[in-house]
Structure 1
Amino acid sequence: SQKTGQTAASSYKIMTEAIISQEDIDRVLAFFKQNNAAGTTAKTGDTAYTQYKIVTAQLSSKTALNKGLTYLKAQSVSPSYTTKTNTLYKISINEQFTGNDAAAAASSKLKQLYGWTSSIVKIKNGPQIMKTNYNLSLRDMVQKQMTVSPQTDGAAYVSLTYINTATSTVTADVLNIRSTPAVSPTNVIGQFKKGDKVKIIGQTNGWAKINLGWRNASSDEVVQYVDPNNFSRDSKYYFQFLKLSQTAGLSVTEVNQKVLASKGILTGKAKAFIDAANKYGINELYLISHALLETGNGTSDLANGLTYNGKTVYNMYGIGAYDSNPNYYGAKYAYEQGWFTPEAAIIGGAKFIGSSYIHNTAYNQDTLYKMRWSATATHQYATDIGWAYKQVNRMYSLYSLLDGYTLYFDVPEYQ
């Protein structure tokens, strides 16, 4: 045989247009296969179009939803929507503001920062403040107090320069004991001599901190408690200026449950305190606070009963319990007053406090401050410079249990 160089027929390859649907691809392949022309598919690398779904932000009203649905349908778009229920919250600010102006400013700040609308609720009447002029300069007052040996159990300080820390002994001939870790002519409270032993409980900036127990207070320490400007009106320690001649109107059940529970001999004695307050015109919260402090929360020997002249006597306020022998003198006073039950001591002691201090026309000591700090440095309830300061912790916590009361303050003024 020999090739002529001529062809009998030509071969062809069929390419379709780009097809999008998989259904169309399958139908075309089946058609060619039926005609003995099976083929293959290949991606072109091009895309025809991308589909989108529109999801709006949450709409807060039914009116806005209906307007949106109407518009989309007019554009031949079939919309759908889901309903969500949002929980609404109310925020209560627990912080208490003194004065409407301060509360209004805080409310305005919330509106500015977060767009929140808030309301202001008065929780109790604001304090009524009066002034008592002591007709003394503060310096004169402190000098008067220094003449009667005010006491404190605060820490004391000596210079470490003159202490042999290995043996805890004083190396100087005379070493000043100071109420604060600083050299000042008004903070010297005593002296050590060479060879004296010093019990160091801490160190600070070259000073040894020591504990002398009860000791004479310095004039620097006294002025800290005497100067009323050291106590902010927003501070709980302002309660030392609270007038004690008005009752708080407490219930027996509430006091027993919230205040006197697990308080030793004073547990369940609310009625006695409230009866005493009403009988003698004394704030019952003060009486309770005073008794809790003097009895060590109802645990002291005087509170739980001591025997004097064959009788068990009780003393709930430490009346007559002189520092030299408090149990003996406190029991002696209780015996002389006939305080043979805890209730008698509570009520009888309230009479003493009322007549001797709060309602005494000669002294008019109707605040804790006045009871501790007399302008004449006489007829003062305690020698502890922190006595009034310590009392207010309990009084403040007791008042925090109450609503709807008015606070009356009497604040001293110095020239």
Structure 2
Amino acid sequence: MKKNQVSNFGRVIIMFCLLFTLSFFSSIEKANGNLQNIMSIDSPTTNSYASGAETLIGGWALNASGVRDVEVHLNGEFDGKAVYGGRRNDVNQAYPGYPNGENSGFNYKIPNNKLLNAENTIEVRVIGNDGTTNTSFVTMRKRMPRTSIDTPKMGQEVQDEVLIGGWALDASGVKKINILVNGNLFGEANYGVRRSDVGSAYPEYPNASNSGFNFVLNTTDIPRGKNALVIEVHGWDGSVYSSKVDININKKINIMSIDSPTTNSYASGAETLIGGWALNASGVRDVEVHLNGEFDGKAVYGGRRNDVNQAYPGYPNGENSGFNYKIRNTSLLGGENNVYVKVVGNDGSIDIRYFTINTSKITSNQDRIDYSLEKMLSIQYPSDESLLKGMTYLVTDKYRNEKAFISTNSIIFVDRIAVNSGVNVRLSPSIKSDNVLMITSELTPVQMLLESVKGDTVSGSDNWHKILINGAEAFVHSSVVKLYSVPTYTVKENTLVKSDKSLGSHSYGVVKAGDSLNLLSDLADDWIEIKFSNWRLPTIQDTKSKLIPSKAAINDITDVDSSSMIFMDLTSQITISPDKLNSYLSGKGKLENQADAFIEASKLYNINLAYLVAHAILETGHGKSSLANGTTVVNGKVVYNFYGIAAYDNDALNSGSKYAYNMSWFDPASAIKGGAEWISRNYINNSTHKQNTLYKMRWNYSNPGNHQYSTDIEMPSKISNIMFSNLLNISENYKMNFIVPTYN
């Protein structure tokens, strides 16, 4: 029985505690539910006026869940968040029980330059931690700025110095007043002049009784005629407003004269002198000379002209009003050139005079050479003996389809290895002087016994071959043999390649000892046909025909044709529009759409544009060669070489691409500009070589046989044909000077 009584008592205690807890929280909930979200905006008061640089928004806010944010909205747009948490014991005492009631104040500053010059609506939005919101509004006004220009009046005629006066008011106070004419700042006005009349009319504005301003404007640097005078007022709140009047500047008219050259005159000599005089009421700042639409340079101003000063007294610096300028006649285009002189005054006013200078489109000069054509030919053309010795020779592709022969007696068969001529064949793999078996007199085929035998080190290698020569076992170092992967026909010594089956026929070139042969006929004959390079030695008559200028060229070039263009000065000017040049380059591989790069390179490096394009067309096979088509890669970089620079005949692709990589020619435009710079620096504009014609680039008659751009004797005519046939006819203007050699 006692046990049951204790158990029942415990249950009663637990039930009582539960009921008490529920009753307690219910009472708290009811209490919080009676707390209303309330707020007040203490400042500004509604319909008050803004003053100073800022308006302070201040007040307090209470929320039953606590205040999370106080947002300020200006004229319907969110402006920012107020600082909440200001001490407000008065609010806490009046409205006890709110979270953080003693720190319920907020404040926020609005720059007054954001306010409209009319009625503004300010909304304060209080957001509670539970997401509930409470909003209050207040309206305030901003007095619109006021200003007046009392003097000068609209359209007033002024000269020399003019007094600018007036007054300005701003609700935040006036910080400064700028004076501008035609948008140019002339200075800052003096502000604070006593204006009791303004103070009486507008007493509500700060400092209204001292709102006057004045400024003395010097009109010397202002153009004659109508000009816009602007008063720019800056308020302390950052606001800016302005007032404008037009003033008419009365000053002397600008006058000038071109004394020389007379219009439509013809240029002669190296330079054309442009001379004259100029007067400007504000003084002359610059005298510019423009040639064919492009700025050419500034004339020297200040030449003594007492005659001008006497005729037109009263102008600044009238006695020193002369100017002069020299135009290089090489800058003139062939035919009519449009020139204008532009005089700029200190006030920015401009006076211009136009005239024309005419030039012949074609000029020709003879370059006399102090040796004969026969001597030139003897230097340039190789003998058979010099060919056999390895002289680099002239070439042409004129005979590319003709048969080529060598004497059968010079041919040898090599199974796998041949020893070079002049080699010590040794009894052991040692360079001791007492173990020489024999010395070879020509390239000698041998039988390989052992490919790798260690022995004395020669040229950094200790690898020797054991061979069978003339029935004897011997040794040769690996550096003095030629190895072949398959049985090969070759020649035992350097051998002339002939145009016919006779020693007296024309030599096309040389097969070097050890070079593999591609035989095209039977070895039973005394002469055997072989496959030979397309590039072959021209005949002496071929060479002479390319060296001799035509009689017409020697006498005087009066018209342009493809043959005469090999003598054109490659700094001569030609104008081709980008559109026309791009049209010509269409379909030419990576040269397509590169007109801008060619034109820029031509101007940068003083090279004729038509030549620059034509040379690239020739070297790249119309943009399709391996060095030009974007397929050649060096160290992971695509490279371009449009002028065959450093592309040597025996390994053109490898050497040309490596050079392009070293020069960072990784895109077509870089290759065009880089190639142009290289040609200009090394040939056309080189102060030592001066190879400024295609003829000079190929034959270099100043130092024949040296520093010649190409081995192809037809390189000049091939480029000139492209220039004449394809580029001259799309040019807009040109002026060409021809330099024709005359041999002694």
The answer to whether TM tops 0.5 is yes
Q: CA deviation at 1:297?
A: 0.5
Higher normalized helix content (fraction of residues): 1
SS of 1:405's equivalent in the other structure is strand
How far, CA to CA, are the matches of 2:552 and 2:712 in structure 1? 18
Partner residue of 1:221? Answer: 542
SS of 2:585's equivalent in the other structure is coil
| Contact 1:154-1:211 at 8 Å conserved across structures | no
The letter of the residue matching 1:396 is F
Partner residue of 2:622? Answer: 297
Provide, for residues 64-113 of structure 1, a one-character-per-residue CA deviation record: whole Å limited to 9, x for no partner: xxxxxxxxxxxxxxxxxxxxxxxxxxxxxxxxxxxxxxxxxxxxxxxxxx
The letter of the residue matching 2:399 is A
Q: Identify which of 596, 603, 608 aligns with 1:278.
A: 603
Extract unaligned runs of 5+ from structure 1: 1-121, 160-173, 200-209
Could you say if the C-alpha distance between residues 320 and 191 of structure 1 is closer, same or farther in structure 2, counting changes exceeding 3 Å?
closer
Q: CA deviation at 1:190?
A: 6.1
Partner residue of 2:395? Answer: 151
Could you say if the C-alpha distance between residues 211 and 225 of structure 1 is closer, same or farther in structure 2, counting changes exceeding 3 Å?
farther
Q: CA deviation at 1:310?
A: 2.2
| Contact 2:394-2:713 at 8 Å conserved across structures | yes
Alignment of 1:14-413 (within 5 A): 125-147=360-382, 148-155=392-399, 177-178=498-499, 188-189=507-508, 194-198=525-529, 213-229=534-550, 233=557, 235-257=561-583, 259-305=584-630, 306-375=632-701, 376-397=704-725, 398-413=727-742
Q: CA deviation at 1:236?
A: 1.6
The normalised TM-score by structure 2 is 0.33
Partner residue of 1:101? Answer: none
SS of 1:216's equivalent in the other structure is coil
| Contact 1:178-1:190 at 8 Å conserved across structures | no
SS of 2:364's equivalent in the other structure is strand
The letter of the residue matching 1:406 is K
Provide, for residues 41-72 of structure 1, a one-character-per-residue CA deviation record: whole Å limited to 9, x for no partner: xxxxxxxxxxxxxxxxxxxxxxxxxxxxxxxx
The letter of the residue matching 1:334 is A
Provide, for residues 227-258 of structure 1, a one-character-per-residue CA deviation record: whole Å limited to 9, x for no partner: 1127765542111011111331222111112x
SS of 2:643's equivalent in the other structure is coil
Q: CA deviation at 1:309?
A: 2.1
How far, CA to CA, are the matches of 2:363 and 2:587 in structure 1? 34
How far, CA to CA, are the matches of 2:544 and 2:537 in structure 1? 14
Query: Bigger relative contact order, structure 1 or 2, given CA contacts below 8 A and separation 6+?
Result: 1
How far, CA to CA, are the matches of 1:186 and 1:377 in structure 2? 25
The letter of the residue matching 1:324 is N
Could you say if the C-alpha distance between residues 236 and 338 of structure 1 is closer, same or farther in structure 2, counting changes exceeding 3 Å?
same
Moved more, 318-327 or 127-136: 127-136
SS of 1:304's equivalent in the other structure is coil
How far, CA to CA, are the matches of 2:361 and 2:606 in structure 1? 22
Could you say if the C-alpha distance between residues 245 and 184 of structure 1 is closer, same or farther in structure 2, counting changes exceeding 3 Å?
farther
Provide, for residues 267-322 of structure 1, a one-character-per-residue CA deviation record: whole Å limited to 9, x for no partner: 11100000000111101111100001111111111112311122211111111111
Q: CA deviation at 1:137?
A: 0.5
Partner residue of 1:45? Answer: none
Q: CA deviation at 1:215?
A: 1.4
Q: CA deviation at 1:377?
A: 1.3
Could you say if the C-alpha distance between residues 196 and 129 of structure 1 is closer, same or farther in structure 2, counting changes exceeding 3 Å?
same
Could you say if the C-alpha distance between residues 184 and 242 of structure 1 is closer, same or farther in structure 2, counting changes exceeding 3 Å?
farther
| Contact 2:605-2:680 at 8 Å conserved across structures | yes
How far, CA to CA, are the matches of 1:212 and 1:328 in structure 2? 19
| Contact 1:280-1:351 at 8 Å conserved across structures | yes
Provide, for residues 354-413 of structure 1, a one-character-per-residue CA deviation record: whole Å limited to 9, x for no partner: 000000011100011100011221100000111111111110021122244222111111
Q: CA deviation at 1:126?
A: 4.5
How far, CA to CA, are the matches of 1:315 and 1:158 in structure 2? 33
Q: CA deviation at 1:187?
A: 5.2
| Contact 1:155-1:211 at 8 Å conserved across structures | no
Higher normalized strand content (fraction of residues): 2
SS of 2:707's equivalent in the other structure is coil
Could you say if the C-alpha distance between residues 383 and 347 of structure 1 is closer, same or farther in structure 2, counting changes exceeding 3 Å?
same
Q: CA deviation at 1:214?
A: 1.2
Could you say if the C-alpha distance between residues 126 and 358 of structure 1 is closer, same or farther in structure 2, counting changes exceeding 3 Å?
same
Could you say if the C-alpha distance between residues 158 and 254 of structure 1 is closer, same or farther in structure 2, counting changes exceeding 3 Å?
closer
How far, CA to CA, are the matches of 2:607 and 2:594 in structure 1? 16
How far, CA to CA, are the matches of 2:377 and 2:643 in structure 1? 27
| Contact 1:125-1:405 at 8 Å conserved across structures | no
The letter of the residue matching 2:542 is E
How far, CA to CA, are the matches of 2:393 and 2:673 in structure 1? 31
Identity of matched residues, %: 36
How far, CA to CA, are the matches of 2:715 and 2:700 in structure 1? 13
Could you say if the C-alpha distance between residues 339 and 400 of structure 1 is closer, same or farther in structure 2, counting changes exceeding 3 Å?
same
| Contact 1:132-1:412 at 8 Å conserved across structures | yes
The letter of the residue matching 1:408 is N
Could you say if the C-alpha distance between residues 383 and 191 of structure 1 is closer, same or farther in structure 2, counting changes exceeding 3 Å?
closer
The letter of the residue matching 1:154 is K
Q: CA deviation at 1:340?
A: 1.0
Partner residue of 1:118? Answer: none
How far, CA to CA, are the matches of 2:361 and 2:672 in structure 1? 31
Could you say if the C-alpha distance between residues 241 and 289 of structure 1 is closer, same or farther in structure 2, counting changes exceeding 3 Å?
same
Moved more, 247-256 or 268-277: 247-256
Provide, for residues 328-370 of structure 1, a one-character-per-residue CA deviation record: whole Å limited to 9, x for no partner: 0010110111111111000000000000000001110001110
| Contact 2:645-2:675 at 8 Å conserved across structures | yes
| Contact 1:149-1:217 at 8 Å conserved across structures | no
How far, CA to CA, are the matches of 2:496 and 2:674 in structure 1? 48
Partner residue of 2:300? Answer: none
| Contact 2:568-2:736 at 8 Å conserved across structures | yes
Moved more, 382-391 or 184-193: 184-193
The normalised TM-score by structure 1 is 0.58
The letter of the residue matching 1:240 is I
The letter of the residue matching 1:221 is D
How far, CA to CA, are the matches of 1:381 and 1:312 in structure 2? 25
SS of 1:129's equivalent in the other structure is strand
How far, CA to CA, are the matches of 1:309 and 1:176 in structure 2? 39
How far, CA to CA, are the matches of 1:211 and 1:339 in structure 2? 33
Could you say if the C-alpha distance between residues 297 and 231 of structure 1 is closer, same or farther in structure 2, counting changes exceeding 3 Å?
farther
